[in-house]
Structure 1
Amino acid sequence: MDLKTAYYIGIMSGTSLDGIDAVLADFNSSPPSLLHTFYLPYDGELRSRLLDLNRSGNDELHRAAMLGNELARRYAEAVTGLLHGYGVKPQEVIAIGCHGQTVRHCPESGRGYTIQLCNPALLVELTGITVVADFRSRDIAAGGQGAPLVPAFHQILFKDSQVHRVITNIGGISNLTSLMPNGEVAGFDCGPGNLIMDAWCLRHTGKPYDENGAWADSGKIIPELLEKLLGLQFFSLSPPKSTGREVFNLAWLESYLSGDEKPADVQATLLQLTVTGIAQAVLTYFPDAAEIYLCGGGARNAALVAQLRMALSGRKVELTDRFGVDADWLEAFAFAWLARQVILGVPSSLPAVTGARGARLLGAIYPG
């Protein structure tokens, strides 16, 4: 098989716990081509089981192993749907890059581990395709944060020789990638994206997310609550830094609530928390950035995007769709590329982003 022309699949299931994004990519073109996409939503029962593993509990090793098997079966289902939709056979695919489902992310010194659930060996058996998985562990072993991993791919797609751009991914967690005209790349997690807003929305409305931010838009920001939430040490830490549900969760939010707040007002405050985390990070670390491009599920939240444009006035704020890269699929696209880097034996980490001791080959190969 010609490694330069065959297809790669990228699979991403992020901290939002909404479902599985799968993409078919071709890297024989410049820029790379996103050929086809497939989405498989999580049901409420699976989402609940995954959330339970974000904290210690009874028999969690067994539960984690069983969920890894279940996720492998669902990833395989997504691969089948993806290939069928584009008319490609499994033997035409070089590899699947599967991020897995993060349930713990503790990269700090003294702990130094990250857990993304999947059973890659089972995924190989179910699809007949080589799988590349466990992308974060090697970077953490080298002293890095293990996240974010996509800035190197952002550089390939979006770097401009004249303009300083920032790519903002608003998934469960928000993160930034700075692309300087001189080729310098920086990036880090900057705070919550959708995960707390989604959890609060589900609890009070029964809906998995606040479509277009309409519910948040109906409420009023609670300044005292916003100030308390922004007082979290994470926001004042200097990069490199990464975060997850261990820090940003409903229990953390509830520790600052009196119980008298209107739910819509809390939602408005959470939306502003996401906006402020992004805007402050841009203004503090990348004040010269002229263009901000958004991706991830939060890029479809009209109220959030409107607030970001106000907070970052004087700068162009648009979606990555402008470049022909759908904002909803960019992260899965990146893991197809990361898998290709491993297959080709090319390091894909950026020590300037994660803080690792050097560039590393990220990912473990499970041959088909």
Structure 2
Amino acid sequence: MSGTGPYIGLMSGTSLDGVDGVAADFSGPAPRILGHADAAMPAELRASLLALNQPGFDEIHGMSRAALALAELYAEVVAKLLAQTGLAPDRIRAIGAHGQTVRHRPDAGYTVQLNAPARLAELTGIAVVADLRSRDVAAGGHGAPLAPAFHAAVFGTARPQAVLNLGGIANVTLLSPKGVVGYDTGPANLLLDAWCARHTGQPYDRDGRYAASGTLQPALLAELIASEPWLAAPPPKSTGRDLFNETWLDRRLQAWQAAHGPLHPADVQATLQALTVETAAREIRRQQPACEQVWVCGGGARNGGLMRALAAALSCPVAPTDNANVPAQQMEALAFAWLAHRHMEGLAGNLPAVTGAAGPRILGAYYPA
């Protein structure tokens, strides 16, 4: 890897729990993390962003206000990183700012990552590379997932292995001497967090304890999988809150209970955990039958129950990416720092075989300091 100057990567995912940021150096053969910082998503901003995932009144004003608030939160994380690393703003070559996805419709030719990159550049005094998905979509791709190119750069393709990101949505990168395959596999923390919050008041299922208190309902699991055509669609494919949301879940649970009787909430949590595991594990088994290692990143890597269930569903070792010297919670932010680095070096950031784009493209729009 080449390029002068450190980069910052900022990521706020579909879980809407906060912002992760990393400062990283890409001048050596492997990325070197210089610092990590995060900030919780304020409740008011989270509610605004959730509302913007669905059509509503006065959306343009709401989007603009939320984008500015998100830029303020991003700047807060950048300030923490600069203080932690001792780096001055003029030492950072660029910030890779993912933005917050509020609509993802590559089938209709667009994807929207809410952001205010010009404001972020003003607040930080650092150049910003943003809007990292739309060029791939313009070239006929899904604009997602973008991390597989980075996973290939970090883990290599010398042996068959997989990187499974368990954020709000689960996506898998399959690496082998044959090349790189990557796509979304289905819901992950998005549904698990929502159901846990509704029935326990806790924002997420710590270590999978709530799921462990319930009993998996195999017939319900089979129905959840069979009732959603997207899950059976071949790659390239990507998804988000546009499809997998509480309305999606409630409709299926209502239909199930009308036919079969009431469900205990903890049993639903156990079954949703199994939904994440089975939809991801079956893709790894199907697409990479000789897989030697599965590396897990994202918030789900901290869920012991989820990790144990994954290990039981796969015939190869499963471990967080921490074991490969990339902290699981920092992987996505690091990927967007790398994408900013690729943009600044004039290098393509997408993998057409992954996203379905017509060819390699330099991703992002540049906002100078």
TM-score, length of structure 1 as denominator length: 0.96
Shift of 1:318: 1.1
1:223-238 alignment to 2 at 5 Å? Answer: 223-231=218-226, 232-238=228-234
Letter in 1 for 2:197: L
1:1-368 alignment to 2 at 5 Å? Answer: 4-108=3-107, 111-161=108-158, 163-182=159-178, 184-231=179-226, 232-258=228-254, 260-313=262-315, 315-368=316-369
Letter in 2 for 1:235: L
Structure 1 runs not aligned, ≥5 long: none
How big is each residue's C-alpha offset from its partner over 1:308-364, in whole Å with a ceiling of 9 and x where there is no partner? 111102x11111111111011001000000001111111111000000110101100
Contact 1:225 1:256 in 2 (8 A): no
Shift of 1:160: 4.7
CA distance in 2, matches of 1:257, 1:100: 32
CA distance in 1, matches of 2:125, 2:30: 28
Alignment length (residue pairs): 361
CA distance in 1, matches of 2:98, 2:240: 15
Shift of 1:284: 1.5
Contact 2:3 2:345 in 1 (8 A): no
Shift of 1:235: 1.1
- Percent identity reads 51
CA distance in 2, matches of 1:342, 1:84: 26
Contact 2:166 2:296 in 1 (8 A): yes
Structure 2 runs not aligned, ≥5 long: none
Root-mean-square deviation over aligned CA pairs: 1.1
Letter in 1 for 2:247: A
Shift of 1:181: 2.7
Shift of 1:226: 1.0
The 3-state SS of whatever aligns with 1:268 is helix
The 3-state SS of whatever aligns with 2:366 is strand
Contact 2:3 2:341 in 1 (8 A): no
Shift of 1:252: 0.7
CA distance in 1, matches of 2:275, 2:76: 36
Structure 1 stretches of 4+ with a deviation exceeding 4 A read none
CA distance in 2, matches of 1:290, 1:29: 27
CA distance in 2, matches of 1:140, 1:57: 25
